[in-house]
Structure 1
């Protein structure tokens, strides 16, 4: 892009011209009425998402209702702002995930991954990176929901074989390692979570949306590296405190795999379609977008009777509405200039070394990382994303740099149970099956 810059033009001015936006928004007192309205909508939505004052889906509808009420866009443009490729993408991914769960393919994948673990060391340094990579394409919630119970069965079998009543360190290591590494699958691809789709949609508003393959070029290498960092942390933290020494996870997993039998026809069909969808994302997302391949995949699954409309209708439509409202809010903030004004204000209060480049990425990452632990990752990116990209513009930083930093940091919801559904699922399962004692 930089080769197209005009003589004497700054990077911020180039991106503003490239995205068809004004380079600098007016101060609040002189801002257009619609810009002030969008700032207010952002504040209201962020507060409601953070506090749970209204259900997520209702807050998403409120965003659109307020945009209609205050005339931010003409009615058709409000509707169009909700109907982006990223919205079809996340709806399709959720529906596809329901098909994977319905056929039992997620269980098969979980057992296949756990089959590599013959000791605690191989569990941490082989299984955990494989889980993180898989979570870049398959729902991490489904993976954790199936793998956590298997690990608790392994735990119960191990302590009984060792003649122990409990080994809390082993349980904590199992559960938290799975949660943390599953969360870290997020940066791997746009399919890893709705927060990535939101960021792609926000970047698209500025004419800078990365393709599926371009996202993977930057995000995918991060996943196994971060998984190994997590594995090293747990290995150093728990290697001496775990009482059970003879641990063969693969042996117990093989017994479990015999119970579910051979792969069914529907599992084979789903696996083939999943591979085809991923290939289309990587090779043809420039032409088909990211919603097109997954919608085509859903049609194929429906033709082969793997899923039906009832299965699709059971997805979390409130999540779809959340991401649709985030796209609409991002478009409104960008078009009215409100996002640039907020970005300028934020950048002005930062120390000099954090106003551009790596420093700005650090500031945005830290803010996102803290916030994602107290509200959902999708809601965090929905609130911060529309401001992060303009911050990059006004500071002369490439928007991808700050946009990716925001999306990647939203995967670090490891501190609190409420940070991500993975944490809540694993916490509810982490109990001694004989005594009911909470182990984590």
Structure 2
């Protein structure tokens, strides 16, 4: 029986892939409507995404096959949904992020900030969290965590080493080691018996001594030293846990600040444009940043305080290093030296780093000034026809990406007099090599998560299929009783639901499944769709409780010093703090920013014809 069960568990994906479609097949057979057929596809994809029977991107291809076969949409229309403006924004944003990683600019930024903030316990937490959150705003949170965790571990190891050397237990261990070295040295040579006897006498002198008065330790004192050493190890382990969690949590929190920071944000942008084509670009890079960046800062500060309390204690004066002892200052100097040495290894800024920095800053400026909302942007004034702007955020980021493929990573020798003279002195017969560009396709192809591009397209196809089949209208009509509940209560309950659901499945799959349903519900109860879709999208990034919830958690957990219960304890409180912070944001500065107290004209449809 055990062998049979083992075989079933091993091949469970094959069994699920075979049985799940058959088990839910009665839905379209007993209810022969387009809504039921579309519901069958959505339920099938949701189960496959949650159970991860197939790679997420492969499951996202189901609509290409099932929608035409079930007469929901023809193949031409389905395939057109897979590469939209939002997909190009995602691809362009990732290419810029890959360029930043390729020239090692992100590591220089990280080490530079850590050198400024210092290595006192609370400031060390703050330094790693702020750097990780900032980098995660622009590059993948997985790549950010993979870079920052080793740096944090190197600093922690140096702190632990210096702490061990300056502690009473460490000094005793060092004395014993020296004694053994003295005892072993003569034995390796052909010394006399007298010399060996003297060495043994020396060894006796270095038996466990009390660090203060030098007398031979009793058994009771040896036990005390063991307790001290164990206490030091436990303290170091706790500090390591807190540092690892601070890095992976900051990576998830930082991603919510920008539209391209994490994929759920782009899913939400794509769904808004897909479901409400006349939304007048209400969600763009600038509007998202102005709403989400303060939310991110507030949540980052709260998480820093919570992790500090949980892993450093309530003695904030000690956490900030006020009144630190000489040994503590020595430890901090050694840890600071580790960061400084890593920074020195990078050397001076190369031309490629400078060029990528300039292009990155240009990209941010162009994004913010394209259509800021409170004033006409450059795209509105220049690239405008019949009141419609022909330029989007995707246009800007693809333009910058193309420049990175054209600009060389080094200054050409003919532009530098000294280097030109050196080249002329070399053998004239040697073939001149072509300078590599800031970015090349091989690097992009290796680091680009193409499966996410398909996954985004699958979400857009599902949303379009729900609209074409009438499922969204039917679903919205069934949710009208929710209008009797207050709007903040609805948003709070949905945020908690999404935050819980995203612990068990991909945040991209979570937003892809929930957002079309939430949009239909908002239309049915005459509520601004952004009031629900925005906070739920941010809540999808609050995956703090489990190692499998998100890749940054898995990376932090893989270092072996964390237990699931550690992450669950810290993450459960942080989940609640995150949902409360998002609710505060949407009900304060989010209200006037997106005009949430009115049902927008662009959200009107047949299901919401009576809304005003």
Residue 226 of structure 1, CA deviation: 0.2
Counterpart Cα distance in 2 of 1:252 and 1:216: 35
Residue 161 of structure 1, CA deviation: 0.6
Residue 501 of structure 2 is aligned to residue 428 of structure 1 = no
Residue 403 of structure 2 is aligned to residue 300 of structure 1 = yes
Alignment match, 1:86: 86
Counterpart Cα distance in 2 of 1:104 and 1:84: 31
Pairs within 5 Å for 1:413-424: 413-424=543-554
Alignment match, 1:239: 312
Alignment match, 1:225: 298
Counterpart Cα distance in 2 of 1:274 and 1:65: 40
Alignment match, 1:180: 249
Greater CA deviation, 393-402 or 249-258? 249-258
1 or 2 for the larger relative contact order (CA 8 Å, sep ≥6)? 1
Counterpart Cα distance in 2 of 1:29 and 1:68: 17
Pairs within 5 Å for 1:181-260: 181-205=250-274, 206-207=276-277, 208=279, 209=281, 210-240=283-313, 248=332, 250-260=336-346
Pairs within 5 Å for 1:247-326: 248=332, 250-284=336-370, 287-304=390-407, 305-314=437-446, 315-326=448-459
Residue 233 of structure 1, CA deviation: 0.3
Residue 237 of structure 1, CA deviation: 1.3
Relative distance call for 1:186 and 1:337 in structure 2 (3 A) is farther
Counterpart Cα distance in 1 of 2:363 and 2:487: 35
Residue 94 of structure 1, CA deviation: 2.5
Residue 262 of structure 2 is aligned to residue 132 of structure 1 = no
Residue 48 of structure 1, CA deviation: 1.0
Residues 301-332 of structure 1, C-alpha deviations (whole Å, 9 max, x = no match): 11121112222222111111111111121222
TM-score by length of 2: 0.62
CA contact (8 A) 2:72 2:468 kept: no
Counterpart Cα distance in 1 of 2:355 and 2:467: 42
Alignment match, 2:384: none
CA contact (8 A) 2:483 2:525 kept: no
Residues 192-231 of structure 1, C-alpha deviations (whole Å, 9 max, x = no match): 1111111001111213351211111211110110000001
Residues 89-132 of structure 1, C-alpha deviations (whole Å, 9 max, x = no match): 11222233222222112212221232223312223345524532
Alignment match, 1:162: 163
> Which structure 1 segments of 5+ residues have no match?
1-27, 433-438
> Which structure 2 segments of 5+ residues have no match?
1-27, 165-231, 320-326, 372-388, 408-436, 568-612
Residue 133 of structure 1, CA deviation: 3.8
Greater CA deviation, 383-392 or 272-281? 272-281
Q: Among residues 460, 466, 472, which one is paired with 1:339 in the alignment?
A: 472
Relative distance call for 1:142 and 1:280 in structure 2 (3 A) is same
Counterpart Cα distance in 1 of 2:47 and 2:285: 31
Counterpart Cα distance in 1 of 2:473 and 2:127: 44
Alignment match, 1:123: 124
Counterpart Cα distance in 1 of 2:308 and 2:477: 44
Greater CA deviation, 56-65 or 379-388? 56-65
- SS of structure 1 residue aligned to 2:50: helix
Q: Among residues 358, 371, 392, which one is paired with 2:501 in the alignment?
A: 371
CA contact (8 A) 1:133 1:224 kept: no
- Structure 1 stretches of 4+ with a deviation exceeding 3 A read 28-34, 124-127, 240-251, 343-348, 429-432
CA contact (8 A) 2:137 2:255 kept: yes
Greater CA deviation, 147-156 or 131-140? 131-140
Relative distance call for 1:401 and 1:251 in structure 2 (3 A) is farther
Alignment match, 1:74: 74
Residue 78 of structure 2 is aligned to residue 63 of structure 1 = no
CA contact (8 A) 2:60 2:455 kept: yes
TM-score by length of 1: 0.85
Counterpart Cα distance in 1 of 2:542 and 2:490: 18
- SS of structure 2 residue aligned to 1:83: coil
Counterpart Cα distance in 2 of 1:31 and 1:193: 38
Greater CA deviation, 394-403 or 129-138? 129-138
Greater CA deviation, 29-38 or 222-231? 29-38
CA contact (8 A) 2:241 2:561 kept: no
Work out the number of aligned pairs and report it: 404
Counterpart Cα distance in 1 of 2:294 and 2:150: 29
- SS of structure 2 residue aligned to 1:374: coil
CA contact (8 A) 2:45 2:59 kept: yes
Counterpart Cα distance in 2 of 1:31 and 1:335: 17
Alignment match, 2:169: none
Greater CA deviation, 414-423 or 288-297? 288-297
Greater CA deviation, 226-235 or 94-103? 94-103
Counterpart Cα distance in 1 of 2:556 and 2:258: 23
Residue 410 of structure 1, CA deviation: 0.7
Relative distance call for 1:74 and 1:375 in structure 2 (3 A) is same
CA contact (8 A) 1:136 1:189 kept: yes
Residues 370-410 of structure 1, C-alpha deviations (whole Å, 9 max, x = no match): 11111111111111111111221112221111111111001
Residue 169 of structure 1, CA deviation: 0.7
CA contact (8 A) 1:340 1:387 kept: no
- SS of structure 2 residue aligned to 1:190: coil
Residue 157 of structure 1, CA deviation: 0.6
Alignment match, 1:23: none
Residues 333-379 of structure 1, C-alpha deviations (whole Å, 9 max, x = no match): 2343312333443564x6943xx521221122111101111111111
